[in-house]
């Protein structure tokens, strides 16, 4: 798989995460909503940067889908936070995959930054949900 394909998947993942945070935001508590917005914004920024990167590689960035299938019913703050963790884990996996598809040090740093941010945000959501332990040994795996 070419690195552009891996980046396209990562971009598709960012689209999905942004959509998913819309669902999360509708279910979490009022106090958690600013954190959801901040997390979503981080992914919007990442999405735009990834699309720019793909354009610079002469690729046409993947478009967002109109609708995504949820992995489980999201009906309350608990399942909302669970989805948030799920979304960040998906993003972490996509970016971890990019790492193995390139030898370019700069692109590796970009992908590692995205992987780390997603892993950190997943950790914050697990803390918010009271999940123990709040970390995993191999983020993105």
Partner 1 sequence: MGTPLPRRRVLLAVATAAGALGLASACTGSSTPIIPTSAAPTAPDPLLAVLEERAGLVEAYAAAGRQHPQLLPRLQPLRTQTEEQVMALRLALALPERTPASTALGTTGTTGASGTSGTSGATTSPTATAVPVEPAVTLSGLRAAVRASGSAAAAVCATTTAERAPLVGSLAAAAACHELLLS
Closest CA to 18 of 83, 113, 96: 83
In the complex, least distance from residue 132 CB atom to partner 1, rounded to whole angstroms: 7
- Is the CB of 49 or the CB of 134 nearer to partner 1? 134
In the complex, least distance from residue 108 CB atom to partner 1, rounded to whole angstroms: 5
Cβ atoms of 61 and 109 closer than 8 Å: no
- In the shown chain, the binding pattern of residues 73 to 112 toward partner 1, with x for contact by CB under 8 A and - for none, equals -------------xx-xx-xxx-xx-xxxxx-x--xx-xx
Dihedral through CA 31, CA 86, CA 53, CA 97, nearest 10?
A: 150
Total residues at interface with partner 1 (CB under 8 A): 55
In the complex, least distance from residue 131 CB atom to partner 1, rounded to whole angstroms: 11
- In the shown chain, the binding pattern of residues 19 to 58 toward partner 1, with x for contact by CB under 8 A and - for none, equals xx--------------------------------------
Q: Which residues bind partner 1 (CB under 8 A)?
A: 1, 5-6, 8-10, 12-13, 15-17, 19-20, 62, 65, 68-71, 86-87, 89-90, 92-94, 96-97, 99-103, 105, 108-109, 111-112, 115-116, 118-120, 123-124, 132-141
């Amino acid at each position: 798989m070419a690195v552009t394909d891996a980046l396209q998947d990562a971009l598709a993942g960012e689209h999905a995460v942004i959509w998913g945070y819309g669902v999360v935001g509708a279910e979490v508590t009022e106090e958690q909503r600013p954190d959801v917005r901040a997390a979503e914004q981080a992914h919007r920024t990442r999405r735009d940067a990834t699309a720019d990167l793909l354009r610079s590689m002469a690729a046409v960035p993947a478009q967002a889908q109109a609708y995504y299938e949820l992995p489980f019913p999201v009906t309350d703050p608990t399942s909302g936070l669970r989805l948030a963790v799920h979304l960040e884990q998906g993003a972490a996996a996509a970016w971890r995959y990019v790492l193995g598809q390139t030898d370019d040090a700069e692109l590796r740093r970009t992908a590692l930054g995205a992987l780390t941010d997603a892993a950190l945000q997943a950790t914050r959501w697990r803390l918010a949900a009271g999940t123990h332990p709040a970390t995993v040994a191999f983020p993105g795996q």
